[in-house]
Amino acid sequence: MADYRGKWALITGASAGIGACFAEQLAAKGANLVLTARRDDRLTALAEKLSAAYRIDVHVEAIDFADPDAAETLMARLAAHPQITIDILINNAGFGLTGDYLDHDWPDHRAFINLMITHYCGLTHLCLPGMVERGFGRIIQVASVAGLVPGGRGHTLYGASKGFLISFAQSLAAEYEDRHVYTTALCPGFTYTEFHDVNETRHLIAKLPRTMVMPVEPVVEGALQAVERRHVVYVPGSVNKALVWVAKALPRPWAAALMRANSARVRNAG
């Protein structure tokens, strides 16, 4: 098991779900934490719990990463705490816009892009120089199986943003792995988190076979193992791996047609 004692981990979207689970598992490995999300009360409660349980330092910063300047704002705040040097970055904050592309105004899509792409790139760019200088860094970009299969109807920008993060992670790994900065794109499928409550798709998830929806703990545990093993793209779960394999094995038009049919069926079920 990796030992992160003395290291600092920055986790976005840390107030619940995958982010909170990353916080718990990194704390168990001895890492000090910077927890960020919009909900200050939840962050504070989680910080108090983890600090007491694992005797680590935890710093909380409430911030909305839909703001295009959020990454710079966060790092400026952290600069006032020179003991905090980010060694581990978990880019996790996110949400989904349900419906077709024109069901939402452009400002909503712009905020989505700021949250799902701009802040991931910004925080990576701001944390990476210190990692390179110290000769140690771990970066996990929380992507999705949606970034590895053809796009379907609904959540128009979601798969596209996750595909970007996968390619981004692959390039970072190629550029900085030899300087001991390892990057992994975590690509989960359906996972039991609050994400589906926020984007109002919990009723759809409840209709899926239990084998298709993973608990959050093995998803996070596998990602932390993957980044240490220098696995650049990590897909947790045999069902998700099979889905990705089928999408790659089929001719592209067939895979796209399959996605169109299934995404329409899921939406009609709702």
The residues that are catalytic are 158
**Per-residue DSSP letter, 40:** H
**Per-residue DSSP letter, 246:** H
Contacts of 90 by beta carbon, 8 Å cutoff, 6+ apart = 9, 10, 11, 12, 19, 22, 26, 140, 142
Q: How far apart are the first and last CA of the chain?
A: 42
Cβ proximity of 21 and 218 under 8 Å? no
Neighbours of 157 (CB within 10 A): 18
Look up residue 69 and give its two tokens.
Answer: 């300047």
Give me the residue label for tokens 């899921």: 266
